Amino acid sequence: MLKRLALGVAAAALVTSPAAAGPKDFTAQGYALPADKPVTIVLMRPDMEVGELQAGGMVEPNADWTKAAREHLAKAMESAHKSRNIELKPIDESQEGNAQLVADYEALHRAVAEAIVTYKYYGAKLPTKKDQFDWTLGPGAQKLGEASGANYALFFYGRDNFASASRKAVQVAGMLGCLIGMCIITSGGQHVYYASLVELSTGNVVWFNVLRGSKGDVREAEGAQGMVDAIMASMPSRPGEGGKATTVAAKAR
């Protein structure tokens, strides 16, 4: 339906908007991690896809790149949490019901994150949510806490599309056209990431960050670590800590 189209456009705009590269985060109003207990996190599977952006604007998924990026990102996440002294708690998906529970909340989180990206970042603001950041997965998210022993869940999403040779040729042709007064500016690769921290006792999204642009090639270990460090830079992670503004700028590519 049309509404789905509208949301798709918002997401596409976020991906392609070169002017707003870099991270931008939101923290739930006045939220701070509880001071009286350690922060333990269940890391949800990174929802990561890597592909090649074709000349016409379509993306051709690349399974090898995606697999490499997922593995590097998982390691980078573990390393980032270790350096912050955050204990990661896995969910045993072989236990009855856990695989469905994880799948249900990953799907719900995608719908919530899509709403946050559309209505907090793209510009089509919801009047009832003016100056508010109060999205939630609902208190049922506590089941993820019970299954893992964690008090927070971290969700991660990434779409990294590298420009194909044909795309780069179109870019060059467009720029050359400027010399004769016929400019067609074609964007190069597309890199969009977001992460959200969910308090499992309430299901509330307490911190959310979007990173547009690239901090490195996620198909390689170093690039994946750069991306994870950039997006997590503003995440509250110590007991008693609230949100903080980030000044990390992404490298436009």
Of 38, 90, 97, 139, which one interacts with another protein (CB under 8 A)? Answer: 139
- Which residue lies nearer to another protein by CB, 75 or 143? 143
Give the contact letters, 61-90, x = binds to another protein (CB under 8 A), - = no: ------------------------------
179 binds another protein, rule: CB under 8 A:
no
Region 156-175 residues binding another protein, contact defined as CB under 8 A: 159, 161
Of 13, 20, 32, 221, which one interacts with another protein (CB under 8 A)? Answer: 13
Contact, 203 vs 140, CB < 8 A? yes
Q: How many CB atoms lie within 10 A of CB 38?
A: 12
- Which residue lies nearer to another protein by CB, 4 or 37? 4
- The token duo for 147 is 């299954």
Of 26, 133, 135, 207, which one interacts with another protein (CB under 8 A)? Answer: 135
46 phi, psi to nearest 5 deg: -60, 125
Q: Which positions lie near another protein, rule CB under 8 A?
A: 1-13, 15-16, 51, 53, 56-59, 103-108, 110-112, 114-116, 118-119, 122, 124-129, 135-140, 159, 161, 186-187, 190, 203
